[in-house]
């Protein structure tokens, strides 16, 4: 049963499995029928299904495909599907450390499947995957999917290549390691306590690649909306403030204290400077969220849940309620209205 709430697994995660299964000869209709779903329902925006149905689908595909590396291919597909979102997030940060601070929130893209935790150990750090369901004792597709997508993402958005030092799996060593080696390197360890990827700690300071997107091409226009002064878009303080807010929004924590700390200012100094420009932090934050949300909605490649994450919301319903309060339209209504005007 398809629902539109914050529980369960988002249909985007389901669509990836169905697409990969189709590439290996399992028809859409057959895959969806395994969990009592009409394949046409996959197009429902921001719909969800029960987590149990998602795991049931994985088990079905495992039996039907007989492809041990299926989860690795799903991870590669997820990586490509989320590329646009990842590029936006890279634009909001300076270093890999900034990008990684946003990673835990990205797991909510798929729903109630598990959590990413970052752990540091000496001169290394690890991305550990904690699935909400006990991993399959033989081969866990969900773990493979997360690890393969993460390895690809880590090596995509910095100026320098980033390769894992080691990769751990909780399940036993498979007979054929060729695909695992090609995706994750040679230092693979099985029957470990946790599944995770280890990197050298110094890569955290690698600079991110900033690829131009339509969101950031109109920065001067955005500043003129927030601050009415003729020189607002050339004011170094305003430019730094706007950038700090954009960096912090996807982390889910963007307060006057955190922004002041980012700018190396006291809270009182930040408040005074904003008052000098006839605004306040809360007013500024709402205006930035509302304006950027509209720009994100113009990009059809971003789903509503992806936009919610970029703006610091943990779910699409909270974002939708806030957007409607600002604009008297839901995000879907605004997008539909904007698309009709473009046509």
pLDDT at 178: 97
Q: Report how far residue 320's alpha carbon sits from residue 6's, in angstroms, rounded to the nearest whole number.
A: 12
Of the residues 149, 183, 205, which one is the last residue of a structural domain? Answer: 205
CATH classification of the domain holding 232: 1.10.10.60
Domain termination residue (choose one: 17, 45, 67) = 67
Is 13 within a domain? yes
Distance, CA of 287 to CA of 322 (rounded, Å): 12
Residues 200 and 246 in one domain: no
Q: Do 157 and 246 share a domain, yes or no?
A: no
User: Rg of the chain's alpha carbons, rounded to an integer?
Assistant: 22
Identify whether residues 157 and 254 lie together within a single domain.
no
Whether residue 141 lies inside any domain: the answer is: yes
Whether 127 and 189 map to the same domain: the answer is yes
- Based on the fold, state whether residues 268 and 174 are members of the same structural domain: no
Q: Do 63 and 86 have their domain in common?
A: no
Tell me: do 108 and 184 sit in the same domain.
Answer: yes
Decide if 214 is inside a domain. no
Dist. CA 73–CA 183, nearest whole Å: 10
Assess whether 59 and 124 both reside in one domain: no
Same domain, 195 and 276: no
Cα dist from 279 to 27, 157, 229, 236, whole Å: 56, 35, 12, 17
Residue 210 within a domain: no
Q: Closest Cα to residue 297, out of 239, 265, 341, 238?
A: 341
CA-to-CA dists, residue 2 to 43, 54, 96, 114, 166, angstroms: 11, 12, 37, 20, 39
**Residue 4 is assigned to a structural domain of this protein:** no
**Each residue's pLDDT tens digit, 93-150:** 788 988 887 765 556 666 778 888 889 988 999 999 998 888 777 889 999 999 999 9
For residue 1, being part of any structural domain is answered with no
Regarding whether 105 and 161 lie in a shared domain, the answer is yes
CA dihedral 200, 202, 204, 210 (to 10 degrees): -110
Q: How many domains does the chain have?
A: 3
Digits of tens for pLDDT over the chain (343 positions)?
Answer: 555 555 688 888 888 999 999 999 999 899 999 999 888 888 776 678 888 898 899 889 988 999 999 999 999 999 998 887 887 777 777 889 888 877 655 566 667 788 888 899 889 999 999 988 887 778 899 999 999 999 999 999 888 999 999 999 999 999 999 999 999 999 999 999 999 999 999 999 999 886 544 444 444 444 444 444 445 555 678 778 888 888 888 878 899 999 999 899 999 999 999 999 888 999 989 988 998 899 889 888 888 888 888 898 877 889 999 999 999 999 999 998 877 665 5
> Does the residue 286 lie in any domain?
yes
- Asked if residue 42 and residue 96 are part of one domain, the reply reads no
Note the pLDDT of residue 214: 46
Among the three residues 25, 42, 67, which one is the final residue of a domain in this structure?
Answer: 67
- Which residue range forms the structural domain that includes residue 279? 219-342
Instruction: Find, among 62, 65, 57, the residue nearest to 32 by Cα.
Output: 57
∠ CA 284-288-292, nearest 5°, is 175
| 52, part of any domain | yes
227 and 251, same domain (yes or no) = yes
């Amino acid at each position: 049963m398809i629902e539109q709430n914050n529980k369960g697994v988002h249909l985007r995660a389901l669509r990836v499995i169905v697409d990969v299964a189709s590439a290996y000869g399992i028809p859409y209709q057959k895959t969806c029928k395994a969990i009592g779903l009409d394949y046409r329902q996959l197009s429902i925006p921001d719909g969800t299904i029960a987590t149990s149905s998602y795991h049931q689908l994985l088990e079905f595909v495992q039996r039907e495909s007989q492809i041990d590396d299926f989860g690795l291919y799903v991870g590669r597909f997820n990586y490509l599907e989320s590329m646009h979102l990842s590029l936006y997030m890279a634009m909001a940060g300076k270093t890999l450390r900034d990008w990684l601070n946003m990673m835990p929130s990205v797991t909510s893209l798929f729903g109630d499947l598990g959590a990413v935790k970052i752990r540091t150990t000496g001169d290394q750090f690890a991305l550990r995957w904690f699935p909400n369901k006990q991993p399959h004792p033989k081969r866990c597709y969900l773990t493979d999917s997360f690890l393969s997508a993460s390895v690809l993402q880590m090596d995509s958005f910095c100026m320098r290549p980033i390769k894992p030092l080691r990769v751990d799996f909780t399940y036993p060593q498979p007979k054929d390691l060729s695909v695992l080696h090609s995706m994750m390197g040679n230092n693979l360890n099985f029957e470990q306590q946790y599944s995770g990827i280890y990197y050298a700690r110094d890569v955290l300071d690698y600079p991110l690649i900033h690829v131009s997107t339509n969101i950031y091409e109109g920065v001067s226009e955005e500043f003129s909306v927030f601050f009415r002064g003729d020189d607002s878009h050339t004011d170094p303080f305003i430019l730094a403030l706007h950038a700090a807010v954009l960096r912090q929004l996807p982390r889910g924590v963007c307060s006057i204290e955190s922004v002041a700390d980012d700018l190396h200012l006291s809270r009182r100094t930040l408040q005074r400077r904003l008052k000098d420009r006839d605004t306040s932090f809360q007013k500024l934050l709402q205006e930035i969220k509302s304006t950027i949300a509209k720009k994100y909605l113009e990009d059809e490649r971003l789903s509503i849940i992806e936009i919610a994450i970029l703006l610091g919301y943990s779910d699409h319903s909270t974002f939708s309620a806030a957007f409607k309060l600002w604009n008297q339209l839901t995000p879907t209504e605004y997008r539909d209205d904007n698309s009709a005007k473009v046509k």
